[in-house]
Amino acid sequence: MPSICFYFQVHQPFRIKNYSFFDIGNDHFYEDDEKNRVVLNKVSEKCYLKTNQKMLSLIRKHKGKFRISYSLSGTVIEQLEIYRPDVLQSFVDLAETGCVEFLAETYYHSLSYIYSKEEFTRQVKMHAEKIQKYFKQKPKVFRNTELIFNNELASFIEKMGYKGILCEGVDRILNGRSPNHVYQPKGTSKIKALLKNYRLSDDIAFRFSDVNWTEFPLTADKYASWVHKIAGNGEVLNLFMDYETFGEHQWESTGIFDFLEHLPAEIMKHKDFNFLTPSEVIDKYPVRDTYDVKDFTSWADAERDLSAWLSNSMEQEAIQRIYSLEEKVLATGDADMISTWGKFQTSDHFYYMCTKFWSDGDVHKYFSPYDSPYDAYIYYMNAFSDFEASINDFKPKKVPAKKNSKKLVAAIEPVAPVKRKK
């Protein structure tokens, strides 16, 4: 019985404002609050609320047979806490159905695994605590930022106790094999890899409204007929995509919500097909082969590597410099400093600095809040310079101790209570 595994990425960065050279030393707040609020509200109205309502309706309509999964970055959860608690509640409502799985990832949607295993571990644990707080789930399956993956990462995640990991089904690594099976990352003993079927995923995420596409218009029954072809040739179809596919990248006027409304029923017309979450797929199906990924892969751009974030000297300098502050930042013990440093690590900042052209360049430009990659770099590095100076000048604030004690305690999170002497 082939299973459909739907996974959606939900992420918003804390964007850096147009921070000029003259702001250095004078302005220690780097975020573009207005831009963050405007973007989140727009996406919430066009995508998050409508799609969550649709997903909840489909779960109820199909009496729990329609099952899906999400990863919400720590940064999007923080923004929802600030600006749109109603949207956050709508995700909680989905979690309460028992038909939705929430996955683990890095809290700041960062590339931390590549630069600091310690910071990576800290962020994954932070994120798991956030997911537990709101959705009452302890994540069992991991997805790294933008599906960045290799053998070493899979082994590391296995040792952290996760039973599954998501990744891109890259043609050059599959070498003729199908992504529609469960794989074992090379060098691991227990963890299983679920590979994105990028062709069928991208038919929805990217090609759905393309009037020049030979398959346009895409209807639910047509798409279901393609899905049914994997019967006998695979056990799981992993459809992974940005959640903003629904209503934001593919506007409501394209018919994307009508497509989503009818898709589960069309797929389940074939009695052998069902929907499962990643954990359920891992529990149900055996490993069929080894997936051997020596160099990092991702789901970004045509190359499906790290070039979206690390292909030019601007990106490389910016990311190396922010990680160079790790020891100093953590030594402050200051929660605000550490949080700001974490937000500087978000992969989007470096994505905006990418100077690729052709089709991938258009995608980068679409997501960027800046006029050019060079502006993204300049504003980032200006803000970084101020932050670095603040770290170098940092002195823990002192607060008076409780009565009957002459000691002072540093105003650092968390602060241990000062006990009275009896």
The residues that are catalytic are 146
Q: Are 116 and 323 in contact (CB under 8 A)?
A: yes
Rg (CA), the chain: 23
Q: Are 56 and 97 in contact (CB under 8 A)?
A: yes
- How many Cβ atoms sit within 10 Å of the Cβ of residue 420? 9
Report the alpha-carbon distance of residue 399 to residue 389 in Å, rounded: 23
Q: Are 7 and 240 in contact (CB under 8 A)?
A: yes
Report the alpha-carbon distance of residue 240 to residue 6 in Å, rounded: 6
Counting other chains too, the contacts that 325-330 makes at CB distance below 8 Å and 24 or more residues apart are 325/387, 325/388, 325/391, 326/116, 326/118, 326/119, 328/391, 328/392, 329/391
Half-sphere exposure of 211 (CA within 13 A, CB side): 1
The region that residue 144 occupies, defined by phi over 0 for left and psi between -120 and 50 for alpha, beta otherwise, is beta
285: which residues sit within 8 A by CB, 6+ positions away? 3, 181, 182, 235, 236
The burial of 307, by beta-carbon neighbours within 10 Å (0-12 exposed, 13-18 middle, 19 or more buried), is given as: middle
Structure tokens at 373: 């990659």
Q: List phi, psi (to 5°) of 62.
A: -100, 15
Q: Are 148 and 296 in contact (CB under 8 A)?
A: yes
Counting other chains too, the contacts that 307-311 makes at CB distance below 8 Å and 24 or more residues apart are 307/354, 307/356, 308/146, 308/351, 308/354, 308/356, 308/360, 308/364, 309/111, 309/347, 309/350, 309/351, 309/354, 310/111, 310/350, 311/354, 311/355, 311/356
For residue 134, give the 3-state DSSP assignment. Answer: helix
**Of residues 110, 128, 132, 130, the one with CA closest to residue 119:** 110
Question: The tokens 């794989």 sit on which residue?
Answer: 183
Q: List phi, psi (to 5°) of 213.
A: -75, 135
Structure tokens at 63: 């009496």
